[in-house]
Amino acid sequence: MIFSSKLIEDAVQEFSRLPGIGKKTALRMVLQLLKMDEQEVDEFTGAVSRMRHGIRFCKECHNVADSEVCVVCVNPGRNRNQICVVENIRDVIAIESTQQFSGLYHVLGGILSPLDGVGPEQLNLSTLHQRVKNNEVSELIMALSPTIEGDTTVYYIARQLKDLPVTITTIARGIAFGGELEYADEMTLARSIAKRLPIDNYVTMK
Amino acid sequence: MIFSSKLIEDAVQEFSRLPGIGKKTALRMVLQLLKMDEQEVDEFTGAVSRMRHGIRFCKECHNVADSEVCVVCVNPGRNRNQICVVENIRDVIAIESTQQFSGLYHVLGGILSPLDGVGPEQLNLSTLHQRVKNNEVSELIMALSPTIEGDTTVYYIARQLKDLPVTITTIARGIAFGGELEYADEMTLARSIAKRLPIDNYVTMK
């Protein structure tokens, strides 16, 4: 693409570094920013800049935070006996958005994946061990992806903590609400039959 | 969505004001920016800010420019007898990217659309009239959308300039290269048969 302005070319270049954004989409965004008031664009760049420079990671759970400890960990209303272990911040946002979980989180910052060079030392595992050891944590809920890497990470953590008095659970796998049986993959369907629930249980869970 | 950081929430909010960007896509971009170095993010916000504050519009053709006159108008190698009339900047970029047109441009800034409240006074028509009158322009190539509004604009300009010694042409309509005849709409197909070209002409045009 040939832009007749270096300023626009640079901005398009920067936008196309973002995930899923090609040159054409980047140009559409840049032209939209060009239509906005200068003040609105300053708000845009200001928000991005403040976010990048101001963001911190919670020293307790490694979630994103605006101060030393994140809003979840600092909230006295949360159940400190339950810790939900997740891969990344996006998972925290997804679970928080359900408004059904009242415990704390622990963000691993990835999952074990030897092929990608991610070993135990790259993950926030030692702090997890410390938290379980030093605090009254009765349950660790593993909310990791249902992949080989995810399962490996679950087993690794379970072995690491086997001498500590903590129950380790994983989130339920099965057919999604609104999902059609015929489109479910065989493994999910087989597992959802094997791990079937009594009706009473099902009704109360809903 | 519940973010556990006001900084992230603000940045997502700003990104989701861009066209075609929902909350989830905005979050993906924000998390990508979070992964980048602070310096890279400064380059991003800097490019956007410089673009918005530094951009100017060419006083000749209303194209975007980094100085008073755009790179096309300032280029001595361009053919000053031909002016290609387009709706917006995006069209200039599209035509420039073909590297086949060596004339100048005139950006109207829209097309006549009474339903949307766009009349002749909202478009850059008086400067077009001036350019044709004062300079040696022999041909105006109308490269507007093949819609009722586009055609109306073409006729309006043609009538406005009818006393000036300038030829007005429009870009060819027809079946696109690589297009399948059976998927072409009836109007395009009918027009492409009515405006058929002799083989010689077709070969030289290619």
The answer on pLDDT for A191 being more than 90 is: no
Six-digit token pair at A142? 């593993």
A89 and A164 inside one domain: yes
Chain B CB contacts of A93 under 8 Å are 1-4, 27
* Contact at CB, B14 and A55, closer than 8 angstroms: no
Distance of CA B62 to the CA centre of its chain: 11
Q: Can you tell me whether residue B85 is helix, strand or coil?
A: strand
Position A134 in a domain:
yes
Q: How many domains does chain B divide into?
A: 2
Domain interval for residue B38: 6-54
Position B96 in a domain:
yes
Task: Name the nearest CA neighbour of A144 among A155, A160, A131.
Answer: A155
Q: Can you tell me whether residue A105 is helix, strand or coil?
A: strand
Let me know: does A101 contact A84? Beta carbons within 8 Å: yes
Question: Looking at CA atoms only, how far is residue A97 from chain B in angstroms?
Answer: 5
Residues A12, B64: Cα–Cα separation, whole Å: 14
Distance of CA B185 to the CA centre of its chain: 24
Chain A CB contacts of B8 under 8 Å are 51, 55, 64
In this prediction, what percent of chain A has a pLDDT beyond 90? 69
Residues A86, A145: Cα–Cα separation, whole Å: 9
The answer on pLDDT for A199 being more than 80 is: no
A99 and A167 inside one domain: yes
Six-digit token pair at A72? 């979840």
* Contact at CB, B29 and A13, closer than 8 angstroms: no
Q: Would you give the DSSP letter of residue A86?
A: E
| C-alpha dihedral sign at A9, B29, A107, B42 | positive
A88 and A167 inside one domain: yes
- Averaged confidence pLDDT in chain B: 90
B161 and B102 inside one domain: yes
Helix segments in chain A, DSSP class H:
6-15, 23-35, 38-54, 71-74, 89-98, 125-134, 148-160, 186-194, 199-205
A83 and A42 inside one domain: no
What CATH number is attached to the domain comprising A14?
A: 1.10.8.420
The answer on pLDDT for A142 being more than 70 is: yes
The answer on pLDDT for B196 being more than 90 is: no
For B15, name the nearest residue in chain A, comparing CA atoms only.
A44
B90 and B32 inside one domain: no
Six-digit token pair at A18? 């973002």
| C-alpha dihedral sign at B145, B147, B150, B154 | positive
- Reported ipTM: the value is 0.82
- Tell me the per-residue pLDDT of A38-69, one tens digit each, with 9 for 90 and over: 999 999 999 999 999 999 999 999 999 999 99
The answer on pLDDT for A92 being more than 80 is: yes
* Contact at CB, B48 and A44, closer than 8 angstroms: yes
A83 and A162 inside one domain: yes
In this prediction, what percent of chain A has a pLDDT beyond 70? 97
Position A89 in a domain:
yes
Tokens 């704390």 found at:
A104
B113 and B166 inside one domain: yes
Chain B CB contacts of A13 under 8 Å are 47
Position B194 in a domain:
no
* Contact at CB, B19 and A11, closer than 8 angstroms: no
Residues 6+ apart with CB under 8 A from A92: A63, A72, A86, A105, A107, B4
Angle, CA B181 vertex, CA B176 and CA B182 arms, to 5° = 135
What CATH number is attached to the domain comprising A124?
A: 3.40.1360.10
DSSP code string of B16-47:
TTSTT--HHHHHHHHHHHHHS-HHHHHHHHHH
A167 and A83 inside one domain: yes
Among the partner-chain residues A8, A41, A66, the one whose CB lies closest to the CB of B7 is: A66
Q: What is the pLDDT of residue A206?
A: 47
Position B126 in a domain:
yes
A91 and A160 inside one domain: yes
* Confidence category of residue B203, pLDDT binned at 50, 70, 90: low
Position A187 in a domain:
no
* Contact at CB, B47 and A10, closer than 8 angstroms: yes
* Confidence category of residue B20, pLDDT binned at 50, 70, 90: confident
Position B94 in a domain:
yes
* Contact at CB, A20 and B18, closer than 8 angstroms: no
The answer on pLDDT for B179 being more than 80 is: no
Q: What is the pLDDT of residue B202?
A: 56
Let me know: does B187 contact B151? Beta carbons within 8 Å: no
- Tell me the per-residue pLDDT of B89-144, one tens digit each, with 9 for 90 and over: 999 999 999 999 999 999 999 999 989 999 999 999 999 999 999 988 999 999 99
A98 and A49 inside one domain: no
For A91, name the nearest residue in chain B, comparing CA atoms only.
B3
Query: For residue B141, what are the β-bridge partners?
Result: B84, B169
Chain A CB contacts of B92 under 8 Å are 4
* Contact at CB, A41 and B33, closer than 8 angstroms: no
Question: Looking at CA atoms only, how far is residue A1 from chain B in angstroms?
Answer: 5
Q: What is the pLDDT of residue A182?
A: 83
Among the partner-chain residues A27, A33, A51, the one whose CB lies closest to the CB of B52 is: A33
- Averaged confidence pLDDT in chain A: 90
For residue B205, give the amino acid letter: M
Position A98 in a domain:
yes
| C-alpha dihedral sign at A201, A206, B3, B5 | negative
> Which of B177 and A34 is assigned the larger pLDDT?
A34
The answer on pLDDT for B198 being more than 90 is: no
* Contact at CB, B25 and A27, closer than 8 angstroms: no
- Tell me the per-residue pLDDT of B136-166, one tens digit each, with 9 for 90 and over: 899 999 999 888 999 999 999 999 998 999 9
A106 and A33 inside one domain: no
